Amino acid sequence: MGSNGTSDREDLSSCDAEEASDAFDDPGVEETKIEFGVLFDIDGVIALGLNPLPQAREAIRMLICPETGQPRVPFAFVTNGCALGDSKAKKLSQWFDVQVSPDQCIHSQSPLSVFTKWHHKRVLFVGQGPILEIAESLGFTNVCELEDVKKAYPLLDMVDHNNRKSVANGYVENPDFPRIECIISIGEPDRWESYLQLIIDLLVTNGKPDKAPERYPDTHLPILACNMDLVFKAEACMPRFGHGSFLLCLEALYEKITGNALQYTHLIGKPSEITYRFSEHTIAKLAMQIPGAGRIKRIYFVGDNPEVDIKGANLYNKYLGRYRRLSGSLSGPPTIEQIRAIRRQIDISKSRMIPDDAEFMEHSAKLFISILVGTGVYNPNATSMCGPHVYHGHRDIERDDELTKPHFYFDDCHKAVQFIFSKEKFK
């Protein structure tokens, strides 16, 4: 690390420096309009568990106009957690004594709000908490839970011994139960064994598990997953299983049973490019509400997890570089069809591609700048619990240790915001 608390790695190497040179204006000229935004991870950056960090109070205070209580620059929070936007916004507002809007809270499932292709299909939502309310808030109109599937097909869940006793006394199936057209997993469920069984039943029967297939199909109905975190850090002394662990079990069981690899239609949540594209879209919308804000050229992402926050920011920075190269030959602003064609040309795994049905604000960001802080997962003085050969990332995201290195490092988010304001010459 450099002597000023920053990383010596300040070359923005995830994006070609010459190509991105116009992302910053003349360094000798003070900015007269706001052309940058800030994104924060929550756990480990602005809070630990239910306790906000004092450094975060100072950071948020810098971003708010004291006279109006409104944001001075566009900023938002990005978490792999799953909750209603209103509830998280209320909690953040209480923590920092400012008004945080639900639009500023990006959860792992938030990008589904622009996935209009799925909004009116029959969708099974998987997770815990008020998942049907969450689905409705995202625009879905025809959803169900696993309990609905179990009620329609009571013979399926035989890993539940109480259910075995219940059906032994008689049962009724519902042959008219509508076929499931898509599965969306927004978080780990409570009873993994039942969910693993019934999700695989739905996958191999194309969403209608009323009779066994003659053979296991080579393809299966669409499955979308939000949040790939294998583990997460809570109050326990060791990391706890996350939604990524549940997905890993599902992938292993599906392949073991069918002989085919499970294929995700979309992977959402950090570090997937889809979530960072939605974050850029959100910052662009927020900027429209701030006097003096122009087109957002630079977005700073402040995170504490190199494998998730930093890798995702750097992956998206690479994505932006490729997008700019592919769109650079166009004579004017790209049409929707041209944007979709460019998306398909960018070489990333299919599950991480920006979907055609997702409509976003026009790309304006030229740099996505990663900033690592030392108040959460990353501890510069600690040794790793596992050897360097262990990779906790998802199988659809290539291992590249260079992508886990931030552009800048600071002890906490307050120092990070101070640096951003200095870099942007923002008073």
Count of beta carbons in the 10 Å neighbourhood of residue 141: 11
Which phi and psi angles does 287 have, rounded to 5°? -60, -30
pLDDT the model gives residue 13:
43
Q: How far, CA to CA in Å, does 406 sit from each of 77, 315, 326, 373?
A: 18, 11, 25, 10
Question: Contact, 19 vs 321, CB < 8 A?
Answer: yes
DSSP string, 247-301: HHHHHHHHHHHHSS----SEEESTTSHHHHHHHHHHHHHHHTTSTTEEEEEEEEE
pLDDT tens by residue, 303-337: 999 999 999 999 999 999 999 999 887 777 888 88
- Check whether residue 204 and residue 59 sit in a common domain: no
Q: Which of 234 and 367 is assigned the larger pLDDT?
A: 367
DSSP string, 90-114: HHHHHHHTS---GGGEE-TTGGGGG
Categorize the per-residue pLDDT at 232 as very low, low, confident or very high, splitting at 50, 70 and 90. confident
In a domain, residue 82? The reply is yes
- Check whether residue 154 and residue 248 sit in a common domain: yes
pLDDT the model gives residue 212:
94
pTM value?
0.91
Sign of the C-alpha dihedral computed for residues 376, 380, 385 and 387 taken in this order: positive
* β pairing state of 182-185 and 408-410: unpaired
Average pLDDT value over all residues in the chain? 89
In a domain, residue 39? The reply is yes
b/e sequence 353-363, b meaning 16+ C-beta within 10 Å: bbbeebebeeb
- Check whether residue 224 and residue 129 sit in a common domain: yes
In a domain, residue 96? The reply is yes
Q: How far, CA to CA in Å, does 361 sit from each of 56, 273, 282, 339?
A: 29, 15, 8, 11
In a domain, residue 426? The reply is no
- Which CATH number covers residue 83? 3.40.50.1000
The parent domain of residue 93 ranges over 33-107+271-320+355-375
- Check whether residue 260 and residue 116 sit in a common domain: yes
* pLDDT, average across residues 62-90: 93
- Check whether residue 90 and residue 103 sit in a common domain: yes
Categorize the per-residue pLDDT at 260 as very low, low, confident or very high, splitting at 50, 70 and 90. very high
- Check whether residue 39 and residue 71 sit in a common domain: yes
pLDDT the model gives residue 220:
96
In a domain, residue 197? The reply is yes
21 has a pLDDT exceeding 70 = no
Categorize the per-residue pLDDT at 32 as very low, low, confident or very high, splitting at 50, 70 and 90. low
What number of H helices and E strands is found in the chain? 11, 15
Count the alpha carbons within 13 Å of 269 in the hemisphere toward its beta carbon: 27
Q: Which of 3-17, 18-32, 191-205 has the lowest mean pLDDT?
A: 3-17
* pLDDT, average across residues 188-215: 96
- Check whether residue 239 and residue 285 sit in a common domain: no
341: part of which helix (H) or strand (E)? helix 336-345
- Check whether residue 85 and residue 184 sit in a common domain: no
Token output for 388: 């360097």
Count the domains in the chain. Answer: 2
Peptide linkage before 27 cis (omega within 30 of 0): no
